[in-house]
Chain A
Amino acid sequence: MTTSPILEVRQVTKSFGAVDVLKGIDFEVIPGTVTALVGDNGAGKSTLIKGLAGIQPFDSGEVTFEGVKVNLNEPRDAAELGIEVVYQDLALCDNLDIVQNMFLGREVKRGLPLDEADMESRAGETLKSLSVRTVKSLRQKVSSLSGGQRQTVAIARAVLWNNKVVILDEPTAALGVAQTEQVLNLVKRLSEQGLGVVIISHNLQDVFEVADYIYVLYLGTMVVRLKREDTSPSEVVEYITGGKTNNAGSNGDLV
């Protein structure tokens, strides 16, 4: 891959009291590719993501976006750069409809009042560009949607804003087989549109289906970065469980 990374993380750390959750992590995202972030529970995946989202700022280290050093101190900072995180718990408002959720926090106005028609048509176009077909009405309340549909709305919302990096936290965890397939297709389409996509998942089958690069976190350290073609699920499992470390010799790139 010749393209330079859009997002680069260098030596970031984060502690909660005496617990060092991130012990100097390096990480990068390349536009037009899918980067998977795997690791066991407590490895620090969520903490890394929350740092990038500006929800829990890092203690130290450096984040560069499009070659410029940036500070991510609140969600707004990440949003302004074009980093969008789609959370496991989805962060949608059940009492609002699809359009309202997709434009939440970035509503389009026509003078003082909201421009509902404009938002509705843009939401429709975005869903269509992602070949979403499962939704009946854009004015459906999100509470009436299935898990897959909710995930779809959350991802489509990330696309709507011409974001450059989309981070998906366990996007398929709660989904059935058919819905998982739909969401994974959506993930591929995001990277085809030139976005840098990061996917966190426990499901290695999903990871191997969509990811170009695989990063493995183990107890707060980034153990290895692998290219999908050069590795296998069993090797990744060894890294995840600590059965194999980078020093023990691997065919992956040294991080």
Chain B
Amino acid sequence: MSTQSDTPAYLQAQNSTLKDTWATYLGRVRGGDMGPLPAVIGLIVLVILFSFLRPVFFTPLNFANFFTQAAVVAVLAMGIVFVLLLGEIDLSAGVTSGVAGSLLAVTMARNGLSWYVALALALVVGLLIGLFIGVLVAKVGIPSFVVTLALFLAFQGLVLVIIGEGGNVRVTDPVILAIENSNMPIWLGWTLYVVMVLGYVLAALDGRRRRLARGFSGTPLSVILIKAAVIAVVGFATVWVLSLERSTNPEVNPLSGVPIIIPIIAVIALVFGFILERTKFGRHVYAVGGNVEAARRAGIRIQQVRIAVFAICSTTAAFAGVVAASRAASVDPNAGRFIVLSAIAAAVIGGTSLFGGRGRIYDALIGAAVVAVIDNGMGLLGYSAGVKLMITGGVLMLAAGADALSRKRSTSTGR
């Protein structure tokens, strides 16, 4: 029966050319699935705007500062994406990072723990907090908004209790300090750059080869090449600028190299991205976020998925607390109080839907960059923290509005 011309459309070559791929992408954007596109455009506009208003914005020193400033929000946002994908929220992620950071600082300073024991302790406490939230949400059935709002208050108190009298704990351990304050040697930056570009090309080619072997059309070579070229150029520019001498006083205090936090964030993003996009668990996260009932009927264990995402989020938040402690070289009783909305804003600006089911880890990084650029640029322009908070809040509102509208649009064009 089935001759060549009889082959159904879905078994024929698809997106096998650059043109097809572009047309498919345009169709998705028109359908309301814009992904990180608004965030990327916003980021470019903001960078141009701030460079114009404040030339110091576009200096190597500020460029490096930007990464270390963005790091805490970026790490936290990557954790929060998991929770948002289920349509849940974790308002306590910020103060969880505060609890973990203060535990780390206090156990090292007062109990003399070595950095790796204190780090492990902080992460385990984060994990336990996440499991606790997850059980309350999944098993007991309290809305995540309420559970995490309660913990948002409780953990502010817990941080006070951990830090105790004195109000401020210094972090002096060189390894912990290195996370946010040290740079890699120039050669290592370039080596990692080459590894990254080659790794991307090889992975893309391998995926293409595997699809071709199955008789499918793989990603067109031209598309792989264009993506690789973008990664190569952006990566080259980044590593090159960060390898320049950026100290204001180079004779006394030479300063150059890629900050260590960049590869740390890259590794977290790669691991989380792999979990979400390539594993069974990740697929189930999207399914539960998209349609709980469908997921349940497909035999997915919903409660376990719920508990797991909160565990991932809080553990990641704990690490964000360690990064924050490293950056400030100390922990104070306000630790983590203000940061959670910036992180949620980062995830949402990057294209993660508050309604669940849509969003990616890498997009959260772009969102975190937007939040950090606003913070950094407005700081340079001399605006107060109050104005910065208001602007960030406004941008979050804007992103959430765009999310709601695009959802409306995709339901109206979808069927």
* A→B interface (CB under 8 Å): 53, 55, 75-76, 79, 85, 87, 89-96, 98, 100-101, 104-107, 109, 112-114, 117-118, 120-121, 124, 127-128, 132-133, 135-139, 141, 143-147
Contact = CB atoms under 8 A, between A and B. Distances in A.
A127 B291 contact: no
A112 B283 CA distance: 13
B216 A143 contact: no
A117 B274 contact: no
Contact of A85 (B274, B297, B413): B297
B279 A112 contact: yes
B297 A117 contact: no
Pairs A-B, 6 closest by C-beta atoms: A105-B298, A143-B414, A95-B290, A93-B290, A95-B357, A91-B294
Contacts of A132: 8
Given A96-B287, A104-B295, 9 more contacts: A95-B291, A104-B287, A104-B298, A107-B283, A117-B213, A118-B214, A128-B11, A135-B10, A141-B414
A137 B9 contact: yes
Nearest to B31: A144
A232 B314 CA distance: 63
B218 to A, nearest CB: 9
Contact of B216 (A79, A105, A120): A120
A91 B279 CA distance: 22
B132 to A, nearest CB: 26
Contacts of B62: none
B65 interface: no
B304 to A, nearest CB: 13
A106 B413 CA distance: 29
Contacts of B139: none
Interface of B: 2, 8-11, 14, 31, 33, 210-211, 213-216, 274, 278-280, 283-284, 286-287, 289-291, 293-300, 357-358, 410-411, 413-415
B274 A94 contact: no
Given A104-B298, A144-B31, A117 B210 contact: yes
A180 B51 CA distance: 60
Contacts of B295: 93, 104-105
A107 B284 CA distance: 10
B8 A139 contact: no
A147 B299 contact: no
Contacts of A85: 297
A93 to B, nearest CB: 4
A136 B216 contact: no
A143 B10 CA distance: 17
Contact of B286 (A87, A93, A135, A138): A93
23 contacts: A75-B296, A93-B295, A94-B290, A95-B286, A95-B357, A95-B358, A96-B283, A96-B290, A98-B10, A104-B283, A104-B294, A105-B284, A107-B283, A113-B279, A114-B280, A117-B214, A118-B214, A120-B214, A132-B8, A133-B8, A135-B9, A136-B9, A144-B413
Nearest to A109: B280
A92 B291 contact: yes
Contacts of A117: 210-211, 213-214, 216
Contacts of A101: 294
A137 B210 contact: no
A141 B213 CA distance: 24
Contact of A94 (B279, B284, B414): B414
Contacts of A120: 214, 216
A232 B278 CA distance: 53
Given A95-B286, A117-B210, A124-B11, A53 B297 contact: yes
B289 A95 contact: yes
A135 B213 CA distance: 23
Contacts of A114: 278-280, 283
A91 B290 contact: no
A195 B33 CA distance: 39
A53 to B, nearest CB: 7
B9 A79 contact: no
B415 A143 contact: yes
B283 A100 contact: yes
Nearest to B283: A107
A210 to B, nearest CB: 22
B10 A93 contact: no
Nearest to B353: A95
A104 B298 CA distance: 6
